[in-house]
């Protein structure tokens, strides 16, 4: 059972590219990614963090490659991970070539920063030879000097002009396996830039509100920015940028997509904020269930409501539901139908049992 969306989102059909075995653009699912904060040359720690990121629900992962030791490490890292790896390159063209040759599925570069045309040609050749895509990453904090002089300050038009300039550099080298981002830490600037760019190009867009901040403000800024664009059908892959554990970025990214019915992975919990009517400790119950059910990948809807005011209605629209009742006699709903009473101290175990059972049923179908 799933909640019917009030509004169906009509996504823009962009060009489809491959990042390893993940397809980006077109009708393909919007992918979620994060970036490691380990030293890439520390293979063991980087692999450990990537595996945690993947377990949290990432489709892609990015690592920084500031030096040759980092790009050399990619050859070992890709052997121990299951999701495509993106190499973050900023200036030195040799790092991009090394990354492509050592297993990166995508290069994050600005071709305009690479240097002379012959260097760009070498990077493009390495990308083509290795089936490697490229992300053009425009950032309001690092715009080209002449563009800043022209527009006086970062603005949507400046970011888009930079993006078009860099796209044309690759197109002139007969390279089209690319995606684009136009990021800013300012929500309105980012939204404006992505909307303008979407009107001008058909390449898949990587959404991001860069340097969004710590967990709470960063989550809010990203949710507003991504939500506005995704509701307009703009966006093919997302990265939430938080000053926090990269795993949290994946959790937030997936929740944003789930809230818009653009992603169906894992347990979607509908829960009340709790009040004096609650028949069991809703907040603590939800926190424990989030942790215990974090390993479930099957899309399942679960409602945890503390009283009978909204509980039955929410339970009628979810796969599994708990509604608070008097004297600890809470009601368990399965597929919207009352099943049995559950004592408050048995809610967590009973819900986990039913979610696991439902997941297996779906997987066996």
**pLDDT tens digit string along 276-301?**
999 999 999 999 999 999 889 999 99
pLDDT at 142 over 90: no
* 85 in Cβ contact with 137 (< 8 Å): no
Q: Within a domain: residue 220?
A: yes
pLDDT at 5 over 70: no
Q: Within a domain: residue 12?
A: no
Q: Within a domain: residue 6?
A: no
Q: What is the pLDDT of residue 308?
A: 92
Q: What is the pLDDT of residue 217?
A: 95
Answer yes or no: do 316 and 177 share one domain: no
Helix-strand-coil percent breakdown of the chain, rounded to 5?
A: 45, 20, 35
Answer yes or no: do 254 and 309 share one domain: no
Answer yes or no: do 221 and 315 share one domain: no
Average pLDDT on 254-280 reads 92
pLDDT at 114 over 90: no
Average pLDDT on 102-127 reads 90
Q: What is the pLDDT of residue 8?
A: 66
**Domain CATH code at residue 164:** 3.20.20.20
Tokens of 175: 């390279």
- Phi-psi map region of 301: left, alpha, beta (phi>0 left; psi -120 to 50 alpha): beta
Residue where a domain terminates, one of 259, 280, 304? 259
Answer yes or no: do 254 and 351 share one domain: no
* 322 in Cβ contact with 304 (< 8 Å): yes
Q: What is the pLDDT of residue 327?
A: 80
Q: How far apart are CA 352 and CA 337, in angstroms?
A: 18
Q: How far apart are CA 272 and CA 84, in angstroms?
A: 38
pLDDT at 175 over 60: yes
Q: How far apart are CA 131 and CA 91, in angstroms?
A: 21
Q: What is the pLDDT of residue 326?
A: 82
Pairing mode, strands 85-88 and 106-109: parallel
Answer yes or no: do 291 and 176 share one domain: no
Q: What is the pLDDT of residue 135?
A: 96
**Domain CATH code at residue 338:** 3.30.413.10
pLDDT at 68 over 90: yes
* 105 in Cβ contact with 83 (< 8 Å): no
Closest C-alpha to 185, from 197, 193, 177: 193
What is the rounded average pLDDT for all residues in the chain?
Answer: 93
Q: Which domain holds residue 283?
A: 267-364
Q: What is the pLDDT of residue 65?
A: 96
Q: Within a domain: residue 32?
A: yes
* 156 in Cβ contact with 192 (< 8 Å): yes
Angle at CA of residue 333, ends 331 and 337, nearest 5° = 120
Answer yes or no: do 158 and 304 share one domain: no
Q: How far apart are CA 57 and CA 295, in angstroms?
A: 9
SS3 label, residue 14: coil
Q: How many domains does the chain have?
A: 2
Answer yes or no: do 165 and 273 share one domain: no
CB neighbour class for 308 (10 Å; exposed up to 12, middle 13-18, buried from 19): middle
Answer yes or no: do 283 and 252 share one domain: no
Torsion over CA of 273, 279, 281 and 287, rounded to 10 degrees?
Answer: -60
Q: Within a domain: residue 10?
A: no
Q: What is the pLDDT of residue 171?
A: 96
Closest C-alpha to 299, from 116, 126, 57: 57
Share of the chain above pLDDT 70, in %: 98
pLDDT at 16 over 70: yes
Answer yes or no: do 231 and 298 share one domain: no
SS3 label, residue 323: strand
Q: What is the pLDDT of residue 255?
A: 93
Q: What is the pLDDT of residue 329?
A: 87
Q: What is the pLDDT of residue 112?
A: 73
Of 101-105, 112-116, 156-160, least confident by mean pLDDT is 112-116
pLDDT at 107 over 90: yes
User: Does the pTM exceed 0.85?
Assistant: yes
Q: How far apart are CA 190 and CA 205, in angstroms?
A: 12
pLDDT at 158 over 90: yes
Residue where a domain terminates, one of 259, 286, 315? 259
Q: What is the pLDDT of residue 9?
A: 80
Phi/psi of residue 242, nearest 5 degrees:
-125, 145
Answer yes or no: do 251 and 294 share one domain: no
Average pLDDT on 88-94 reads 90
Of 102-116, 267-281, 283-297, least confident by mean pLDDT is 102-116
Q: How far apart are CA 322 and CA 332, in angstroms?
A: 5
SS3 label, residue 79: helix
Answer yes or no: do 82 and 143 share one domain: yes
Average pLDDT on 247-260 reads 94
User: Residues 218-233: pLDDT tens digits?
Assistant: 999 999 999 999 999 9
pLDDT level of residue 7 (50, 70, 90 thresholds): low
Answer yes or no: do 324 and 222 share one domain: no
Phi/psi of residue 60, nearest 5 degrees:
-140, 160
* Rg of the chain in Å (alpha carbons): 23
């Amino acid at each position: 059972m799933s909640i019917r969306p009030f509004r169906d989102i009509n996504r823009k059909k962009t060009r489809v590219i491959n990042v390893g075995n993940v397809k980006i653009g077109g009708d393909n699912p919007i992918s979620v990614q994060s970036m490691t904060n380990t030293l890439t040359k520390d293979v063991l720690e980087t692999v450990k963090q990537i595996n945690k990121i993947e377990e949290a629900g990432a489709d892609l992962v990015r690592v920084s490659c500031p030096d040759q030791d980092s790009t050399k490490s990619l050859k070992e890292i890709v052997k121990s991970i299951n999701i495509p790896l993106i190499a973050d390159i900023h200036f030195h063209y040799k790092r991009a070539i090394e990354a492509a040759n050592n297993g990166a599925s995508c290069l994050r570069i600005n071709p305009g920063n690479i240097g002379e045309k012959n260097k760009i040609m070498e990077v493009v050749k390495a990308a083509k030879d290795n089936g490697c895509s490229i992300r053009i990453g425009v950032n309001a904090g690092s715009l080209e000097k002449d563009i800043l002089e022209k527009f006086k300050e970062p603005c949507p038009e400046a970011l888009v002009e930079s993006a078009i300039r860099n796209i044309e550099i690759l197109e002139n080298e007969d390279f089209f396996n690319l995606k684009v981002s136009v990021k800013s830490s300012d929500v309105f600037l980012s939204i404006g830039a992505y909307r303008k760019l979407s009107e001008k190009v058909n390449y898949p867009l990587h959404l991001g509100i860069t340097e969004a901040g710590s967990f709470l403000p960063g989550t809010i800024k990203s949710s507003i920015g991504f939500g506005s664009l995704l509701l307009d059908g703009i966006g093919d892959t997302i990265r939430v940028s938080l000053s926090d554990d990269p795993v949290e970025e994946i959790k937030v990214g997936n929740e944003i997509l789930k809230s818009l019915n653009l992603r169906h992975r894992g347990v979607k919990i509908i829960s009340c904020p709790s009040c004096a009517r609650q028949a069991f400790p809703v907040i603590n119950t939800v926190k424990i269930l989030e942790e215990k059910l974090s390993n479930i990948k099957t899309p399942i809807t679960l409602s945890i409501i503390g009283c009978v005011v909204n509980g039955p209605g929410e339970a009628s629209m979810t796969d599994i539901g708990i509604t608070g009742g008097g004297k600890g006699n809470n009601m368990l709903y399965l597929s919207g139908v009352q099943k049995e009473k559950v004592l408050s101290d048995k809610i967590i175990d009973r819900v986990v049992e039913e979610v696991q059972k439902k997941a297996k049923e779906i997987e066996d179908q």
